[in-house]
Amino acid sequence: MMRLYREFKPWLALLVRRRQRFLIGSLLVWVTLIAGLSLLGLSGWFITACALAGIALAAGLPSSLDIYVPGGGIRFFALLRTVARYIERLYNHNTVLTLLADLRFRVFGYLTRLDDASLRRRRASDWLSRLTADIDTLDNFYLRLLIPPLVALLCAMAVSAFIAVWLPSIAILVGVVLGLLWLLLTFGCAWGGFANSHQQVSDQSTLRHLVVDQVQASAELMSYQTSDWHRHKIVLQEKRSAANQRRLAHKAALGNAAVSCITGALVLAVLWFASVAFVDGQVSGPILVMVILIVLGVNEVFSVLPAGFTKLGASYAAVQRLNAIPHTNAEGAPELLFSEGRQGGSSITLNQVSFCYPQMLENVLNGISFSLPAGQKVVITGVSGAGKSTLAQLIMGRITPTTGEVSVAGCTPSRVLPESRAQHFALLSQQIDLFDGTLAENLRIANPQASDEQLWVALAQVALSSWAHRQPQQLNTPVGEKGQQLSGGQARRVALARLLLRNPAVVILDEPFAGIDAQTAKHIAGSLRQWLANKTGIYLIHQIDDESLLPGVEFFGHLAEGQLITDTDMRHEVN
């Protein structure tokens, strides 16, 4: 039990912040259920009282009945139940959605602090599952595991107290039975369904990964003639998951059956003992019917508990996966800002830097030492896999070196706040990230305040303005998911134009001219020469084919076998 509490404690803390909303939501649910029980009991009393009065009058006996007060009470409880139900659904669902938003914000904040090495330890689909499916699983925790048992317990106490006004002994019986039923449906269902619901989270995660692999690696699976084998794995996993869900559903059904059987037996017991009291003249007929109907209506209060508590294991598995996300990726308190300004770029120093990815035997980089003065440009060449992208990630602070030190503007970049790093660095990576929106929306990611004129200037700098003018929607042209509506070269130039809308201190360009024809490349090189003035620039390319595409470069380096070879004698500027 303590272990369960420790796992849930960080997420319960978010609920405590909104405890007022939680208590109001619980009160609304309680009012709704009490209004329903009151409506049922008062209606039974009224119908019985009317029937007895009618029988007395038919028998010629004097009889009178005030129909206005109970009639008004019935209308009041009917209206209260309807209004309270509507407000409760609206309020509680708003509360749950707000809590889920808080959870996603918190988890996304954890993910943004992870370095690239940590992120690559798991698939992107797994991180997405934690950000969506695991948090959605907690919907069951907040909506079905906290409010319903509290409300059910309060309703059982209220019903017992109400019955005690006329039949104290029967009230004790009702209270004891409902208390035992509450324990059975909470602790019993949680214990019975824990393993199956815990397994359900793992099954769904595995199935999600298999389906994603089937789609993303369809070409490889077909070329190796393993598509049928992989689909068979998916079918087997579906069967295992479905069998586990059926077992979980059976246990929830047993819980519902227990509610029906126990409440039904309780109604019979109340009917028996109340009938004896009626014969002894301790209670009137309408009161007898009212008590029986109220006890019968308790079924509705307890019927929601089995479905929620049998899935406690799923909520526990979800918080375990979320708690496994590291909350930070750097030792020590992060610094607020870079110490140097951005007018003259920022100096970059690497001192005996080595890096090894997790679960790899050899270092990608070995003992690299290099210093680049502020505002200078360097080109680093190397074949694919030489470590150029890793070097860029180290300089930007997205990963931390295994050994050695990286310093940018006098700071360790991995310890600088992400907001400051985002303002200080600009990276054009080989992987282009464009979103399913318009051309203008993708450009304004870099500068939300940029005017249309600034967007056109940036497009002109990358030789895309003529193309954009020819499009029917111009800046509102949709680019498609991942830029699918554009060619590879156009998508890369859109990403570069987005970079040109910013004013960073350090710019890293990874293969900036890939997929671009020679004439367009020269045009872009001229634009980069103006934009990179007073900025520290790093070009990462496979090889130098045309030195005119590297304006202002004063330092040259070559990455090979984890070593950075620099030619310090080549201090001439490439024009």
- How far, rounded to the nearest angstrom, does the alpha carbon of residue 497 sit from its chain's CA centroid? 31
- What's the whole-number average pLDDT of the chain? 81
How many CA atoms does the CB half-sphere of 424 hold within 13 Å? 27
pLDDT at residue 573 greater than cutoff 50: no
Question: What is the pLDDT, as a whole number, of residue 326?
Answer: 63
Percent of the chain with pLDDT over 90: 24
**Is the domain defined by 2-323 classed in CATH 3.40.50.620?**
no
Mean pLDDT in residue range 475-491: 75
Question: pTM score > 0.85 for this model?
Answer: no
Question: What is the pLDDT, as a whole number, of residue 574?
Answer: 38
Q: Which residue's entry shows tokens 């659904």?
A: 89
- Alpha helix (H) ranges present in 324-431? 388-396, 418-424
Beta-strand relationship, 506-510 and 536-541: parallel
Question: What is the pLDDT, as a whole number, of residue 176?
Answer: 95
Residues with Cβ within 8 Å of residue 486, at least 6 apart in sequence? 434, 479, 480, 494
Question: What is the pLDDT, as a whole number, of residue 174?
Answer: 94
Q: Which two tokens stand for residue 21?
A: 């909303």
Q: What's the burial of 477, exposed, middle or buried (CB within 10 Å: 0-12/13-18/19+)?
A: middle
pLDDT at residue 569 greater than cutoff 50: no
Mean pLDDT in residue range 529-547: 77
Cα distance from N-terminal residue to C-terminal residue, the chain: 71
Question: What is the pLDDT, as a whole number, of residue 125?
Answer: 62
Mean pLDDT in residue range 442-465: 80
Question: What is the pLDDT, as a whole number, of residue 75?
Answer: 93
pLDDT at residue 172 greater than cutoff 90: yes
Question: What is the pLDDT, as a whole number, of residue 555?
Answer: 78
Question: What is the pLDDT, as a whole number, of residue 265?
Answer: 94
Mean pLDDT in residue range 399-422: 77
Mean pLDDT in residue range 381-406: 79
- Alpha helix (H) ranges present in 165-217? 168-183, 189-216
How many CA atoms does the CB half-sphere of 292 hold within 13 Å? 23
Q: Are 37 and 294 spatial neighbours (Cβ–Cβ below 8 Å)?
A: yes
Domain ranges in the chain are 2-323, 348-566
Question: Given pLDDT bands bounded at 50, 70 and 90, which one contains residue 261?
Answer: very high
Question: What is the pLDDT, as a whole number, of residue 37?
Answer: 92
Question: What is the pLDDT, as a whole number, of residue 344?
Answer: 55
Residue 526 is which amino acid? G
Is 262 or 477 the better-scoring residue by pLDDT?
Answer: 262
Question: Given pLDDT bands bounded at 50, 70 and 90, which one contains residue 571?
Answer: very low
Q: Find the range with the poorest average confidence among 260-269, 323-332, 341-350, 410-419.
A: 323-332
User: What's the rounded Cα separation, in Å, for the pair 531 and 446?
Assistant: 15
Residue 559 has phi, psi (to 5 degrees) of: -95, 125
* Residue among 227, 251, 234, 292 at smallest CA distance from 43: 292
Mean pLDDT in residue range 210-239: 86
Is 483 or 475 the better-scoring residue by pLDDT?
Answer: 475
Q: What is the pLDDT of residues 295-321, one digit of tens each?
A: 999 998 999 899 888 888 888 888 777
Q: Which residue's entry shows tokens 């990455």?
A: 559
Mean pLDDT in residue range 2-16: 75
Is 241 or 340 the better-scoring residue by pLDDT?
Answer: 241
Q: What is the pLDDT of residues 88-130, one digit of tens each?
A: 889 988 888 887 777 777 777 777 666 666 666 666 666 666 6
User: What's the rounded Cα separation, in Å, for the pair 409 and 396?
Assistant: 12
**Given 3.40.50.300, 1.20.1440.20, 3.40.50.720, 2.160.20.10, which CATH number is that of 348-566?**
3.40.50.300
Q: Which two tokens stand for residue 80?
A: 């209260």
Percent of the chain with pLDDT over 70: 88
Question: What is the pLDDT, as a whole number, of residue 339?
Answer: 53
